[in-house]
Each structure stands twice: as structure tokens, then as C-alpha cells.
């Protein structure tokens, strides 16, 4: 995460929980002793941990939010190496070893660069579990099973967030836009963020609709499954995130005479 979080509480500093004195905000990530975090603080923490970033002009930085170039490589290359190695050798073991080696190399690279290890460790854990499943069953296509359950879990969680009127898109984008949780008081903003969440759900559902039938084709569908996994992974996620951002853009406030206001 960057040194200063882009997710700022839109309330006046003196009214923020934990302020040491008027005009002086509590340091980020700290809580007064014996107090429980508010819903707003939990939501801000969730948005920050989701790794979303914004550009200097206030728009979402989609590439950086997806992990940057290195993050994209970490998500794409292990699966690509697995596909190439299995296609060439037709042996499961070297393909699994190759994928694990790539994931391990990225983890070491982050250690050397002194970057946050969260994404790399999650990546190597995912590749390791996928390799274990494929090795246990002896089926190369089982290397991709974990992704199906991950997508399904996100679909369920996001659908629940819409049902309880806490759409995930609002929690993610609200703090980037300095809306905090105030958007929940505006039915139009709640509706917009529900639509944005449905966009992300659609991306996840499309992955399952396309990839699950290929999985059941066995090795005959492995190349197509691996290819669609790469294309519908980070690239499609970036597109879906950007579309959701655009669809949830608030209406531009009325401009003062001679001072047009740029929409967020």
C-alpha cells in the first residue's frame, strides 16, 4: 500500500473518532483504547485492503488497482507456464513444477524489492493448492478448479451485499470518491452502486459460463480452458472494474458561474 491511503474520511477532521484535539486527526490505522471500529471505519479498511488506488485527478487507477504490471504478471504467468509445459511434455509433474517455480520466483522478487507480500503469497498459495488438486486427481484440468470456487464465492458475497443494500462497489469506490458512506443516504447513489456491483458479478459469472463447460471436456478442452482463463482473468477484470467505475459516476454538481466543476 502507498504511504498515505487515498481513502480519506470525508467528515471534518475534528469530528473523526479518535482525534487527539480539534483539527488533529487520529493517525491512520489507530483506535482509541477500548472503542470498537465504526461501520465507516470497517468499510474504509475494506476498501484500502482491496488495493484500490486513484490517479492524481481523482479517477480510479485501474492498472495499479489490479496490481500493476508485476501484479498482472504474477496472475498470468504461472498458468501460462503450466499450459506450455503440459502441452510440450504431456506430463503433469513438470507442468506443475514449472508453475510453482514461477510463483515462487515472484515471491522472492517481492522480498528483494521489499514490496508487500500479500499478493505474491496469495498467488503462490493459490498455485500450490491448484497443483496439489491436479496432482492428487492426476487430471491436468483440475489445476483450474480452485478458480471456479473462488469466482462462485465472490458472486455469492456480492449478491448478498446487493440484497442487504451494502453493494460492494459502493464500499470500494465510495472512499476513492470521498463519499465515505454518505452515498447510502441517497437512493440514486445506492442504485448506481448496485448496478456497478452487478457489472462485476457479470464478469465473474461469464468466467464460469465459458470455462466450466471446457473443464468438463477434459484434456480435449484444456488448451481452450487455459487460454480463456488467461483472457478472462486480469484483462476482463480490469475492463469490468472500469465499466463499473464509469456507471457509478455521480452526476456533476451544478457549476458556479464561470467555474465549471469536473465530475468525479
The 10s digit of each residue's pLDDT in 160-171 is: 999 999 999 998
Q: Examine the pLDDT at 5 and tell me if it is beyond 50.
A: no
Q: Where would I find the H helices in the chain?
A: 39-49, 62-65, 68-89, 92-113, 118-137, 145-163, 168-174, 187-215, 222-231, 234-247
Q: Are residues 158 and 128 in the same domain?
A: no
Region 183-193 average pLDDT: 94
Q: Are residues 175 and 225 in the same domain?
A: yes
Q: Are residues 215 and 228 in the same domain?
A: yes
Could you list the residue range(s) of the whole structural domain that residue 175 is in? Answer: 37-65+140-250
Q: Are residues 195 and 125 in the same domain?
A: no
In this structure, is residue 17 part of a structural domain?
A: no
Region 239-254 average pLDDT: 82
In this structure, is residue 180 part of a structural domain?
A: yes
User: What confidence tens digit (pLDDT) does each residue in 201-218 have?
Assistant: 999 999 999 999 999 999
Cα dist. 166→37, 60, 189 in Å?
Answer: 17, 20, 11
**φ and ψ at 259, to 5 degrees?**
-135, 75
Amino acid at each position: 500500500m502507498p504511504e498515505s491511503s487515498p481513502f480519506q474520511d470525508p467528515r471534518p477532521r475534528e469530528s473523526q473518532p479518535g482525534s487527539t484535539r480539534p483539527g488533529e486527526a487520529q493517525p491512520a490505522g489507530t483506535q482509541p483504547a477500548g472503542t470498537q471500529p465504526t461501520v465507516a471505519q470497517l468499510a474504509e479498511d475494506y476498501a484500502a485492503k482491496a488495493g484500490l488506488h486513484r490517479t492524481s485527478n481523482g479517477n480510479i487507477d485501474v492498472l495499479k488497482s489490479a496490481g500493476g504490471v508485476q501484479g498482472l504478471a504474477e496472475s498470468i504467468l504461472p498458468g501460462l507456464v503450466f499450459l506450455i509445459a503440459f502441452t510440450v511434455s504431456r506430463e503433469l509433474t513438470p507442468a506443475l513444477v514449472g508453475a510453482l517455480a514461477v510463483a515462487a520466483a515472484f515471491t522472492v522478487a517481492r522480498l528483494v524489492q521489499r514490496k508487500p507480500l500479500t499478493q505474491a503469497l496469495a498467488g503462490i498459495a493459490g498455485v500450490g493448492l491448484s497443483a496439489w488438486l491436479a496432482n492428487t486427481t492426476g487430471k491436468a484440468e483440475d489445476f483450474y478448479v480452485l478458480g471456479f470456487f473462488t469466482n462462485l464465492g465472490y458472486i455469492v458475497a456480492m449478491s448478498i451485499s446487493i440484497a442487504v443494500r451494502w453493494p460492494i462497489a459502493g464500499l470500494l469506490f465510495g472512499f476513492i470518491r470521498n463519499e465515505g458512506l454518505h452515498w447510502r443516504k441517497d437512493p440514486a447513489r445506492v442504485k448506481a452502486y448496485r448496478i456497478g456491483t452487478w457489472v462485476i458479478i457479470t464478469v465473474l459469472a461469464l468466467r464460469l459460463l465459458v470455462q466450466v463447460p471446457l473443464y468438463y471436456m477434459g484434456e480435449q478442452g484444456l488448451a481452450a480452458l487455459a487460454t480463456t482463463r488467461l483472457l478472462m482473468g486480469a484483462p476482463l477484470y480490469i475492463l469490468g472494474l472500469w465499466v463499473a467505475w464509469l456507471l457509478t459516476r455521480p452526476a456533476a454538481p451544478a457549476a458556479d458561474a464561470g467555474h465549471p466543476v469536473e465530475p468525479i
